[in-house]
Structures are given as C-alpha cells and as structure tokens.
Structure 1
C-alpha cells in the first residue's frame, strides 16, 4: 500500500509544461495627462509621501458626523454590499474546488459479498451446494489526472483570477455605495432647503395677498392685482406640495441605501454647512485608473480568459489518469487483516484525441475570442474611467464659479424685487412687475440651491471616479 501512495504522490508533483500564453498588460488607450481645457480644474499631483485616494479611508473625505454615521450604517446593512461579499465566498469556494484537482483524492472503502450456488447449478462432481464469501478493505485513488500539459493548473489559475475579480467587484460596490449614500443625503438636504424656501415664499405671498385684498376692498387695488396675487399664492402652495413629496421620497431612498430604518434624530445638518475635501491629489492617469477596483476587476477577468486558452490548448494532448488501490482481501471477515491478505491494484489509462470533428479547435478559437473580448472590455473600462475623471474635473473647475455668480444673481434679483415692491406701494408700477421680480427671485434662489447640491455631488463623484477610499 505504501508503494501505491508514494507512486500517486510522485505523480501529483510532476511538473508539466504550461500552455497558458504569457500575459502582457495592454497599453493604456488614453492620453498620459488629463485634459486641460478651459473648464478643467487644476489637477494637483500627489506630493512626495502623499497617498492617492485609493489608499485613504472614506472618513477622511466625508467629515460630516451625520453623513459618516449614515455611510457606516449602510456598510453594515446594505443588501447589495452583502450580496457582493457573499459572491466572494462563492468564488473562493470555487477556487478551492479547482485547487483540490491538483492533488489526488484518497478514498477508503470496504465491501463484502455472499453468493450461494444451488445444487442443480453446481459444476462440481459430485454436485454440491456452494456458498462463496469475499471481503475487502482498500485505500485508493480513482482517475487522478496527471497534469503533464497544465490543463488543471490553467483551470485553477482561471478560478483564482475570477475569485480576485469578485473581490474587486465587492470593493467597487462599496465605493459606489458610499458615493450613493452621500449623494442621497445631499439630495435630501437640498430638497429640504427648497421646501423651507418655498414655505418662506408662500408666507410672503400670503401677506401680499392679504394686503391686496384689503386694498381691493377699499377700491385701491384692481381685481387683476387680486387675481395675480392669488395665482402667486397657489403656485407657491403647489411647489410646497411638490417639495414635501420629494423630501419624503428622498428619505425613503436613503433608507433603502442604508439598509435599515433611520431615526429622526439621526438626520441633522444643513446644506450650507456641509463641507467636503476639495483638494484631491489626482496624479497621472496611469496612477489613478489602474488603482480603480472596476479596472482591476476587468484585468483579472482578462487574466482568467488568458488562462482558459491554456486549458483549451491542453485538450489537444494526451490525458493520463491513474487509478490504484491497496488494502486487504479475504474470503472470511475474521481473518481479513491477517498476514497474507494484502492486495493491490494499479491501472493507468491514456486518452489521445484522434478525431473530434474539430471540437477542440473550436474550443480553442472560442477561448481566444473570449480573451480578445476581455481585452476590449478592459480597454473600454479604462476609457470610460478616463472620461469620468475628466468630466468631474471639468465640472469642478466651473461649479464654484457658477455658484458664486448665482449668489450674486440672487442678491441682484432681491434688490429688484424690493424696488418693484416699493414702486408698486407708491403707485408707480403695476403689481405685475412685482410678481415678475418675485418669480425671478424665487427662481434664482432655487437655482442657487441646485448649484450647491451639484457642486457637492461633483466632489462626491470625483472621490468615486478617483478610486475612493475603501476602508
């Protein structure tokens, strides 16, 4: 039995040739520097000793305590992230299965049989009834493939790369989740501010309606002024209902991302006080893009497809399998393990493909085409990532200026509204001019809130597309 075990173990460690093509990372299909158009922001490179955001914890970017609690709650409870983590366990188990194929499986089995030959079927002279018994206990290896041409190792390498790709997919899911929670919270803050602005506008318009109604009763204001004032009030009421609905829907979306109910006292903060890190060390495209988990995932998938070519090539060569067993055999169970009962068997088998109607060649062609598809997908993921970073940098360079200009517009329209109201009060202008100025002010204030949210969301997007902190 020791000889059989030693023979199978020696066969297991035979080093066969590898038919997997040498992997070469495709060249970056994007420029070596970020776009520097008129809208692009300055892109600070990482200084000596300064880490890129792929190596930085997300808490260093999202410093708001409320937002930190929401993000942490989502990392603990979000179901999409939980599924991504469980997918890693599935891929890890699959890799362990293929890894086990590199070594022989030892099985122990015992058997016993009893057969009776009747008198009329006996071949002995004189005829006698015969009862035959046999018992066996063996340890052996069944159909262990000698990986002389690297087929099993290629499949093992493919499973490993798929496992690593699944890990990167989980990292990508986490970064996306952090960004989604941040954007959902910013949207909720923005709509809540718009609701407060609408309620303030409604209150102002109600006061104006009350004054015009009194003036109409005294015959000072016209019925047209009264109708226009009522129109302004109902418009504000309709907007208030809209923002009430949006605030509740924003909270529902945030609850789904967080994965558990959010207490009322857990939502605190104002849009005007929200601060995010703006001076992100960007670095060169090759430094940033290759660190993104989605690109790392695409590269692992490419390596898996490359390894599959080796397995397809190995199918053209002979396949050698070993089957062996060693143990004891006896006609009586009582002396099964006594001296002289030893038994063994050894049966190698060789399979050489001769004619398969082109099946192996078709499998190889398919594997090569799959590898070429993976190359194209890898290059496309880099191009998409480059575009996302470039867009975020272009937005960052303009949104700050846009918000400053919008703030000045709000002040200008507020002055216009104040002067229009004064001219109407003195009978110089009609109430239509007041309504136009009031609508312009309200619209400018709404746009300012939208730009505030957009600027902060752009910083969140920049954090995400630069690879995000994973811790």
Structure 2
C-alpha cells in the first residue's frame, strides 16, 4: 500500500511537471543570414582590410595627433566605456547567482511577550532578552538551465557593450578624419575665393577706367561691382564654415577649442588609402556594430533559455547553524546551538498564463534581435557598396576634370602670351584666369569627395576593428 502511494505521488508529480512545462507553439521564427545567403564570396585569400590605425596612412601627423586626443578625451566614448563596465558587472552578478551564498547574522532584542498568546506564564506577560548568532547558506541547483540562461544573456550584453564601445571608437576616428578633410577643403576653397576676389577687384578697376574713358558702358561696370560683392560674400561664408568646422573638430576631441598651433590642413599633403577590389565573407566579422548585433542575439537566446526554465521546478539547498537563547547570558552555551538543513522545491502549477506570456515576450525579443542583426548586415553591405560606387564615380570625374583643367590652364597661358605680345588685353587674361579658378575649385571638390569616400569605405569595412579571440560569436554564423 505504501509503495502504491509513493508511485501515485511520483506519477502526480510527473503529471504536474509535464502539465506546467507547456511551451508548445512558442519558438523563434527568425533566422540569421549567413555570408552564403548574402552572396558574399568565401575568403580564399586574406582580403584587404583597414589597419587598426588606418588613418595614419593618410600621411598627416597633425591628424594623427588629433585622433589620439579624441580617443582619450571624447565624452561619448567614455559613456560607451562606462556602459561596458556596467555590463561586465552584470556578468559578475549572473555568475554569483550560480554559486553558494553564505551569510552571518547577529540579533539581540528585548521583547514583551503577550499574556494572551501561545506562551504561558511565566514567559507570557514578561519582558525577556532574545539572542541569536547564526550562519546561513543556500545554493540554487540549476537543474533546468535558468541560471545558465541568465549568465548567457549577461555575457551577450557585456560582449555587445564591448563591441558597441569599439564601434563608437571607429565612428569617432572616422568623424575626426572627415572634419579634417572638410577643413582642408574649405581652406583650399577660401584661398581660391580670395584669389577670385582679388581678380574681381582688378577687373572692376579696369572696367571702371574703361568706363571713364568712354570705352565701356555703365552696365559692364555695375556687373563687375556685383561680381566683386559676390566674391567677397563667398570669402566671408567660407571663413564662417571654417570656424564651424574647427568647432566641430574640437567637440570631437572633447575640448572647447582646438589645441594651439593646429594649422589648417591641405588636401595636397594627404595620401590616398588602399581599397579592396571585392568583398569576402570574413569582412562581415570585422565590423564592431555587426558583432554587437550578433551578441545581442546571444543575449536574447539566453533570456529565452531562462524563461523556459521558469516552467520547471526551482530547487534550492538551504541550511542554518548557530546559537539561539532566551537571555543574552545563555547565547554562546552549548545547549543554545542548533542547526537545520534541507532542500526547498518550488513548482509552478497555475500562473494565470504569466510564464507563457513571459516566454512569448522573450522569444519575440530573440526574433527582433535576429532581424536587427540581419538589418545591420544588409545596411553594412549597402554602406560599402555606396562608398565603393562613390570612389569609382569620383575617379571617373577626376579623369575628365583633369582634362578640363589642363585646357583652361593652356588657354590662360596663351592669353598671357598674347598679352605680352600686345595683342590681348588685361581683361582677356583675367577672364581666362576665371575659367582656371573655376576648374581648380572643381578639382578641389572632387579631391575632397574622394578622400571622404575613402574614409567612409574604411569605416564601412570595420575601421580596422578585429574581433577578440575570446569572442568567436563576433563571426557570422547561422544557428
């Protein structure tokens, strides 16, 4: 009879366990996209990737110094570092939950006992001293993987925060390089604008003299006055843009103003960066933002594992040993010693749908993390394609524009030769120079666009970031 009772209890427990662990129909529907699905070639040879200090290849020591200051003092980068430290603390907390917990306590109280409660006289109605000195411990036995899931989620969050810090570093360096190139572009444009203003002033003086001599009408004079004012406006506008760019660059450094002695850069002193001919599969593992998105998926999967474990029993071992006494003088005597130890089992039976709702939410978070990863990969490929296209387009435009500049310079030189021979006027020489200045402005713009596209491509290819050896999930994989 006793054996039958035990079997019945065991059967009832098994039925309750199976009934409570009803997770049917709750599963992730999203799938990670791997390199093959995205149409990327397998890595046969080491593909060309930016070096960790790729910006030094531009060949400007002043830029190198500014990047170093930005990496040291940028507030946004420090915020990302603080988030990374906070996530690391979360890993430590998750690990602690899987370890035995031990604590000690001392209680010394004076208590008035009720005359009408469970304590008879002489204890009832008296005031007594109560003492307790205890050592307690507990250990959550993770049979069903709840703590493991929480730890996996915490590690995923920590690795994602680390990758996001690295992504912020890549973005910061790229933005410093962009601001530097923009400053160089504006500085070159201002030089050309100042020459154009001087030229307009010369032309106005010549037209004014011709108008006074009756060789030109007032229309030409007023047109040249308008052209001079327009050239002056351009110089002022470029000066304002240069100051705004300097302010933006100082903000990237985390400083109110640029360090003293930082001179205006020149596009002519910058060197071109090497760029890859095609993309390979291993490139996707060299972007910190993609690695962060991948680790977010692992964190979400850990949360799903923890949510599934909630359907199963929670088993804890707990124990207490120590001294308890009525009266402080008896506390540390041998007769006051006591202990207890045993398992504690908590089994969910009816939760009103709370556990299923929690699991559904965790699975939805996993799907969202997977699709966010897929979106990050697709967006990254778009960025690389856009920057590669921009580089090719700028190169083609520069080839044509170089011919236009050469033609304008030949015409200018021919006009000066004719002037020296006395068969061309000063106005004709200045007009030919106007065409040269316009072509030089175009050449400067194209050069700046080319460097900006190279910086954009370096950033799109990961900005020199490499996944750490202890973080293999930064690689692209499907699961």
TM-score range, shorter-chain basis?
Answer: 0.7 to 0.9
For the pair 1:443 / 2:450, whether they are aligned, the reply is no
Match of 1:30 among 31, 35, 38: 38
Q: Which residue of 2 aligns with 1:16?
A: none
SS of 2:261's partner is: helix
Structure 2: how far apart are the matches of 1:316 and 1:287? 40
Moved more, 66-75 or 364-373: 364-373
Tell me the number of residue pairs that the alignment of Structure 1 and Structure 2 aligns: 436
Residue 357 of structure 1 and its aligned partner are, at CA, apart by 2.2
For the pair 1:95 / 2:79, whether they are aligned, the reply is no
Give structure 1 stretches of 5+ with no counterpart: 1-18, 35-44
Deviations 1:129-158 (A, max 9, x none): 84433311001026x532221111101110
Q: Which residue of 2 aligns with 1:74?
A: 70
Structure 1 residues 146 and 117, CA, compared in 2 at 3 Å: closer, same or farther?
closer
8 A Cα contact 2:307 2:358, kept in partner: yes
8 A Cα contact 2:203 2:430, kept in partner: no
Structure 1: how far apart are the matches of 2:309 and 2:114? 54
Within a 5 Å distance, the mapping from 1:28-427 to structure 2 comes to 28=35, 29-33=37-41, 52-53=49-50, 56-58=52-54, 60-115=56-111, 124=121, 130-141=126-137, 144-260=139-255, 261-278=257-274, 280-281=275-276, 284-346=279-341, 348-416=343-411
Structure 1: how far apart are the matches of 2:406 and 2:124? 119
Structure 1: how far apart are the matches of 2:75 and 2:127? 65
Structure 1 residues 24 and 162, CA, compared in 2 at 3 Å: closer, same or farther?
same
8 A Cα contact 2:183 2:264, kept in partner: no
Moved more, 322-331 or 380-389: 322-331
TM-score, normalization by structure 1: 0.83
Residue 123 of structure 1 and its aligned partner are, at CA, apart by 5.3
Residue 324 of structure 1 and its aligned partner are, at CA, apart by 2.1
Deviations 1:336-378 (A, max 9, x none): 3233332112354322222222221122222222212211111
Deviations 1:199-227 (A, max 9, x none): 01111111111122112212222222212
Structure 1: how far apart are the matches of 2:75 and 2:116? 73
Structure 1 residues 430 and 192, CA, compared in 2 at 3 Å: closer, same or farther?
closer
Deviations 1:167-193 (A, max 9, x none): 000111101111100010000010011
Residue 320 of structure 1 and its aligned partner are, at CA, apart by 2.3
Give structure 2 stretches of 5+ with no counterpart: 1-22, 467-479
Structure 1 residues 98 and 123, CA, compared in 2 at 3 Å: closer, same or farther?
closer
Q: Which residue of 1 aligns with 2:16?
A: none
Residue 327 of structure 1 and its aligned partner are, at CA, apart by 1.0
TM-score, normalization by structure 2: 0.81
Residue 119 of structure 1 and its aligned partner are, at CA, apart by 9.7
Moved more, 58-67 or 444-453: 58-67
